[in-house]
Amino acid sequence: MPDTYPIEQLRGFSAAVFRHFGVPDADALLAADVLAMSDLRGIDSHGVARLHAYHDMLALGRVNPRPNVRIVRETASTATVDGDNGLGLVVGPKANDVAIAKAIAAGSGWVAVRGSNHFGIAAYYPIIALEKGLIGWAMTNATKLVAPLWGAERMLGTNPIAVAFPGCEEPPVVIDLATSTAAFGKVEIAKRAGKPIPDGWAIDRDGIMTNDPAGLIDGGALLPLGGTREQGGHKGFALAAMVDLFCGVLSGANWGPFVPPFALRQEIPKRSVGAGVGHFFGAMRVDGFMDPDEFGRRVDEWVKTMRATKPAPGTPGVVVPGDPERLAEVERRVTGIPLSPAVVADLRDIAKKTGINFD
């Protein structure tokens, strides 16, 4: 059993680490909040498990602790924001707030972001929009890890799409999906367990589909959602491309294989085609389309109808997007966050390097 830690302890530690590197207090709390939401929602890969990577980037001066996050171009409902190479955990929420403000003023707001870094879980951003009663949208590009269908090398990130719709009595529908078939972390877990990975997850360095986790890790690539052509891999590639074109190309950030890494162990691309990592945020006022109470009731009815789908034999039945994460949060607020020994060792290493008390 892993040890568990109260979320407030982890949030406080993360904020102190960010402050240690000169991140202003409000920004440090914001960044810690993004990580905490990930840990609460059970997305263990994107919470404090990543704090050491952020620590390293700040310690080496690869990320700007006090960025001047600014709008460089705008219309009533659109903007491009330059993140000045700040933490994505700070630039992301600030750019998302621009989308929200534009939505409140003009019905919808759409913000492309350049000069950013890894922004945490994509679902954080539409969940913030939900708190204002808005429909929220977030996408980001990321370090290359995924091959286009019929390609033999890493050319795109796992480029997630997150969208959230407010309900009324039912909880909101919160969608957050990477556009690859599987997560890199799942391949690492298979490797540690000495188990093969399924068809459709990965190719090796020669571009051949592999069931060997090492085949991916040693210069191979994840496959886009769908995996093979027969299973719709061209669709997953098209979705990853869409995310990259909005986040990277339209913002002036790096795109495709040129997106910079979020951790030191990853290779720095030989070429730069823009500024940092790119994101894209959207927010829409429900009353720009429909009476919000009516919409909430319709979402409730949609959720209930999907839950009532006849279940396929041998399965738990239909799971509405966002339900597992919401249930994880309810539990983890009480039980604390389970951390693996490797993550605890990472946090203790940060504590040692920074002199900040962890436990």
Residues of this chain, 280-319, that bind its own copies according to CB under 8 A: 284-290, 294-295, 298-299, 301-302, 305-306, 309-313, 315-319
Please tell me whether residue 50 adopts helix, strand or coil conformation.
Answer: helix
Contacts (CB under 8 A) with its own copies, residues 69-98: 73-80
By CB under 8 A, which span of 20-28, 46-54, 101-109, 328-336 interacts with its own copies? 101-109
Within 10 angstroms of residue 187's Cβ, the number of other Cβ atoms is: 21
In our burial notation (b when 16+ CB lie closer than 10 A, e otherwise), range 325-356 reads bbebeeebeeebbebeeebbebbeebbeebeb
How are beta strands 337-339 and 3-5 bridged, if at all?
A: antiparallel
Structure tokens given for 48: 């404090």
Q: How far is the CB of 207 from its own copies (least distance, A)?
A: 4
Of the candidates 59, 101, 106, 351, which one interacts with its own copies according to CB under 8 A?
Answer: 106
DSSP per position, 227-296:
-STTTTHHHHHHHHHHHHIIIIITTTS--GGGPPPSSTTSPPPS---SSSEEEEEEEEEGGGTS-HHHHH
How are beta strands 134-140 and 277-285 bridged, if at all?
A: antiparallel
**Is 116 or 180 the residue whose CB approaches its own copies more closely?**
180
Our finding on whether 159 is near its own copies (CB under 8 A) is no
Of the candidates 14, 38, 64, 108, which one interacts with its own copies according to CB under 8 A?
Answer: 108
Q: Which DSSP state fits 124? A: H
Binding mask 3-42 for its own copies (x = CB under 8 A): ----------------------------------------
Q: How far is the CB of 65 from its own copies (least distance, A)?
A: 27
**Is 161 or 343 the residue whose CB approaches its own copies more closely?**
161
Quote the CA–CA distance of 122 and 281 in Å, as a whole number. Answer: 10
Contacts (CB under 8 A) with its own copies, residues 191-250: 198, 200, 203, 206-208, 225-227, 230-232, 234-239, 241-242, 244-245, 248-250
**Is 56 or 199 the residue whose CB approaches its own copies more closely?**
199
Q: How far is the CB of 101 from its own copies (least distance, A)?
A: 13
Contacts (CB under 8 A) with its own copies, residues 134-153: 135, 147-153
* Chain centre to alpha carbon of residue 356: 27
